[in-house]
Amino acid sequence: MRLGVEETLGALNAALGPGGPVWFKETRARHLRVRDFLAPRRALQARFGDDQVPERVVHAIVGLQGPGVAPVLSCAPTPAGLALQLRRSAVFERVLGAVAAYAAPTVPAAPGPRVVLHCPALCGSPCALRLSQLRAVLVADHLARALHAHRVSVRLVPAVRDPHMPTFLQQLRVDWPAASERAATEALRSRALAELTPARNAEALPPGALGRVCLKELVDERGRTTGYDPNLDSCLVTEDLLAVLAELQQAVQDWAEDSSLGLAAAPDAGADSCMVVHVVSCEEEFQQQKLDLLWWKLDDQAPLRQKHLVCGPVKVAGAPGTLTAPEYYELRHAQVCKASALKHGRDLAQDPAWMEIFRVLSVATIKFEMLSTAPQSQVSLGALLGQGWGEQSVQWLSSLCSCALIPQLLLALADSSISTKGTKSGTFVMYNCARLATLFESYKCSMEQGLYPTFPPVSSLDFSLLHDEGEWLLLFNSVLPFPDLLGHTAALPCTAPGLHITARTEMVCKFLVQLSMDFSSYYNRVHILGEPRPHLFGQMFARLQLLRAVREVLHTGLAMLGLPPLSHI
């Protein structure tokens, strides 16, 4: 069984006896020089009074064993509290001897609830997609990947119908189904017609509208406890709205049909055994509440659990509020091309292989910008251009963009200053991914030239040679906790009360940025591929195995974002 941070923390807290959790894992490099876990002094005083922690408890901690529990080297009282250090060489050996186990999510013993992910922003065309809606799309796609990785059964709604949307989603590396045919709406239409309220003052209905359905009764019934807006009173029923409801209805019914056929995908089928998560921008939430209530009004089998994952707004300093998702993509793509031309001293825009790299880098930039912030919080992109972008650069960028708005937008923002932290994080991660690929390619070429021997069996490596603090930082903060992080990303508080739900979709981006920073610092300081001398090979292979684990974790994290690893930039 692989070692786990959460298993180790659970065993440490249990060793202290009854009470709440006390121990926490250290993450900062300066603390990891002397300890790996700490039970703070104040927390221990609250547990044991002013007396010292009993010696028997300390002995029990040092001798801790159990599934997933990391081996303990020492536990001693310090001014900060009980400081615990692991047997690091043993942890290196356990983890690096089973790299694949740490680069994959923990598979739950029992399947979780089935989830319908509904992203209403995908009902329209890409040209009408605002940045806040684009954020909702990226959050839904990332969440779907995380749930799939944990073997949660997921249905994605709506299937896109606009002929241009699949191309744009493919450009963004968003995996979403396209529609083949519309779900039947006859039953819902009949029920809606029976529920229509009389028109008020000869109210003129827009094309495609059947009339209004009163929702006040449902708002009064559910709004007090779940958080529906008390101002909701009615919903204008249109053919498009019925089509969305029919698709949601069909997604739930398909699971019930699977169960009736004895398929394993739906162990406890029925509307009550699945959860519908509406991933919406903050501007769409009010309309989505109407859709929820209308579904309950028109369908007796509608799922009882409908939750809203509301994504906060996206603010861009100096940019018009009409900036669309395709325009935003084109601007980021042009900036990537420009940066590459400056770096390489030549324009690579005509090289198909490089253009594919530029497309990946553009999407990476966008996804890290949109997903590095908790979904319920506002994203502030700053101005879209930084200092030093003169008119000549603007004209060069404009030549790469097909949208008519881009040249004016670029000129308006040419002299703006920005915080580059969010802008550069995606390319920074991809750059370090390419550095890892180059490292292993260099080793392979040197091995083929006879400078280094072939990689020995992992079981023969001496991991006690890994004593640099940067090596422990990479293993302890990145490789070891990675399966737990993936589990938190896929965790949805299904039973939480209320209408709204939270998701930790920012965790993977933040983790990959921190991993890249730690790797970059270590790589710049330590010469991995040393001189081809036999007495240095042992340490070199141990370091390569550590970085192999880092590479696998990095690739898995990027896959959770729909991003392929790059071998060069």
Segments making up each domain of the chain, as ranges = 5-86, 114-304, 325-374+383-418, 427-560
Place of tokens 């591929």: 529
Structure tokens at 453: 């021997």
pLDDT of residue 360: 94
The span from the CA of 555 to the CA of 435, in Å, is 13
**Amino acid residing at 506:** E
Least confident of 124-138, 314-328, 479-493: 314-328
The radius of gyration computed from the CA coordinates of the chain, to the nearest angstrom, equals 27
The span from the CA of 51 to the CA of 400, in Å, is 71
pLDDT of residue 421: 41
* Confidence band of 10 (pLDDT split at 50, 70, 90): very high
5-86 and 427-560, same CATH topology: no
DSSP bridge partners of 315: 380
The span from the CA of 440 to the CA of 390, in Å, is 40
Share of the chain above pLDDT 90, in %: 59
Q: Which of 169-178, 344-353, 379-388 has the highest mean pLDDT?
A: 169-178
pLDDT of residue 344: 72
Q: Is the CATH number of domain 5-86 3.30.1360?
A: yes
Least confident of 192-201, 217-226, 399-408: 399-408
pLDDT of residue 513: 96
Q: For residue range 277-311, what is the model confidence (pLDDT) as tens digits?
A: 999 999 999 999 999 999 989 988 888 888 999 99
Report which of 481, 475, 456, 425 is spatially closest to residue 539, judged by C-alpha positions.
456
Q: Is the CATH number of domain 427-560 2.60.40.2220?
A: no
> Residue 182 in contact with residue 284, Cβ under 8 Å?
no
